[in-house]
Chains A and B, each alone.
Chain A
């Protein structure tokens, strides 16, 4: 079961981190509900602030890194077992 749970867990965490449309449609980031992906979009296309948008993209990538490391360890474990 473990590989399956890792796959589903990874996908869900990453999909939740990159959520965009629901927040964009419902509050557009107002009322303290802004998230990384939507902020990146508004920095880039509304504010024209390329540097901030790139920084947010890097932050988003960094937020995914723990999941990536966990995945890497899981791969290695599966490789070692077979």
Chain B
């Protein structure tokens, strides 16, 4: 969900190039670009309205939240309150669940990204038997709804003792299960995305590297990885967001007990089973959105750097 709010800032970055042209060009481009700008602005606004409503609702009282729309809060009798935030931030197991969220998210981002980078390199630049067909099977795997895999995979995890009651070299084995699960769920998309990026790298680079005596490993680490930083950064953002926002997979593989529950599970438990205090979820959404936003802005500069690097130009 927070992708929606985080995405708009990337669009204006295309404009500085337009501004650097000459005056006459600027005016004609400005007239033509005005329509585009209005369209982009309108789309951005439409995109951001639900999030804005959520933000306003998070500052309203529970009663008002349940009886009237968020826009009514913008009229003069302002009744804003920090009650929801106070309750969410005051939750006793908030700090451990932040830790658990990082504990789940960081390995569940690094492992699939690393595996996918190797696999994508093989799929796009190595020749082996049945390569295209294995790749197609992989794209087909994208179509498996992950909800139908829960019971077989959980049975397997329990069979191997990877449940949150067990210890695995001092680590809660449930975390291991959720890392493996997220790796599996993330890999088809990750490999597909990276392979398509690797595939369009110019062949000349690979030929000259080969002439200079670089083996596949050197080519991968010295050539493919540095050139693919924008693709890898976007993959890391995607995977991080999915795992961070994920409720179901974590609930199933590590369970909902406070010592292993990630942030999403803890925050959902603030709401009663009959929907009492559902307004806490609005504040909870913004508390939870905080970390993905930091990750997004931290990695955003790699997009820009990747475009400016220009080494992909023929």
Contacts A40-B148, A72-B132, A75-B135 given: A14-B200 contact, CB under 8 Å? no
**A75: B residues at CB distance < 8 A:** 132, 135, 199
Interface residues of A in 16-56 (CB under 8 A from B): 17-21, 24, 37, 40-41, 44-45
Interface residues on A, range: 20 to 34
Question: Which of B138-146, B254-262, B265-273 lies at the binding interface?
Answer: B138-146
**B143: A residues at CB distance < 8 A:** 14, 17-18, 60-61, 63-64
Contacts A64-B140, A72-B136, A75-B199 given: A11-B145 contact, CB under 8 Å? no
Is B148 a contact of A68 with CB atoms below 8 Å? no
Q: For the complex formed, measure the closest distance between the CB of B198 and the CB atoms of chain A, giving whole angstroms.
A: 11
Contacts A75-B135, A78-B199 given: A14-B145 contact, CB under 8 Å? no
The interface bits of chain B over 194-217 (1 if a CB of A lies within 8 angstroms of the residue's CB, else 0) are: 001001101100000000000000
Q: For the complex formed, measure the closest distance between the CB of B230 and the CB atoms of chain A, giving whole angstroms.
A: 12
- Find the A residue at minimum CB distance from B133: A72
User: Complex: how many Å from CA A72 to CA B199?
Assistant: 13
User: Complex: how many Å from CA A78 to CA B203?
Assistant: 11
Is B203 a contact of A40 with CB atoms below 8 Å? no
- Find the A residue at minimum CB distance from B195: A75
Interface residues of B in 108-147 (CB under 8 A from A): 132, 135-136, 139-140, 142-145, 147
**A61: B residues at CB distance < 8 A:** 140, 143
Is A45 a contact of B142 with CB atoms below 8 Å? no
User: Complex: how many Å from CA A60 to CA B148?
Assistant: 13
Which one, A4, A6, A18, contacts B144 given CB within 8 A?
A18
Q: For the complex formed, measure the closest distance between the CB of B237 and the CB atoms of chain A, giving whole angstroms.
A: 15
Check B189 for interface membership: any CB of A closer than 8 A: yes
User: Complex: how many Å from CA A15 to CA B139?
Assistant: 11
Q: For the complex formed, measure the closest distance between the CB of A60 and the CB atoms of chain B, giving whole angstroms.
A: 6
Interface residues on B, range: 20 to 34
The interface bits of chain B over 142-159 (1 if a CB of A lies within 8 angstroms of the residue's CB, else 0) are: 111101100100000000
Tell me the dominant secondary structure on chain A's binding face: helix
Check B193 for interface membership: any CB of A closer than 8 A: yes
Which one, A10, A41, A63, A72, contacts B147 given CB within 8 A?
A41
**A3: B residues at CB distance < 8 A:** 196, 199-200
Is A11 a contact of B147 with CB atoms below 8 Å? no
Is A41 a contact of B148 with CB atoms below 8 Å? yes
Which one, A24, A40, A68, A82, contacts B139 given CB within 8 A?
A68
User: Complex: how many Å from CA A24 to CA B248?
Assistant: 13
**B85: A residues at CB distance < 8 A:** none
Check B192 for interface membership: any CB of A closer than 8 A: yes
User: Complex: how many Å from CA A23 to CA B144?
Assistant: 16
Q: For the complex formed, measure the closest distance between the CB of A57 and the CB atoms of chain B, giving whole angstroms.
A: 8
User: Complex: how many Å from CA A58 to CA B148?
Assistant: 14
- Find the A residue at minimum CB distance from B202: A82
- Find the B residue at minimum CB distance from A64: B143
Write the residues of chain B forming the contact surface with A, with a CB cutoff of 8 angstroms. 132, 135-136, 139-140, 142-145, 147-148, 151, 189, 192-193, 196, 199-200, 202-203, 248
Write the residues of chain A forming the contact surface with B, with a CB cutoff of 8 angstroms. 3-4, 6-7, 10-11, 14-15, 17-21, 24, 37, 40-41, 44-45, 57, 60-61, 63-64, 67-68, 71-72, 75-76, 78-79, 82
Jot down 30 A-B pairs with beta carbons below 8 A, ordered by A.
Answer: A3-B196, A3-B199, A6-B196, A7-B193, A7-B196, A10-B142, A10-B192, A11-B192, A11-B193, A14-B143, A20-B145, A24-B147, A37-B147, A41-B147, A57-B148, A60-B143, A63-B143, A64-B139, A64-B140, A64-B142, A67-B139, A75-B132, A75-B199, A76-B132, A78-B199, A78-B200, A79-B199, A82-B200, A82-B202, A82-B203
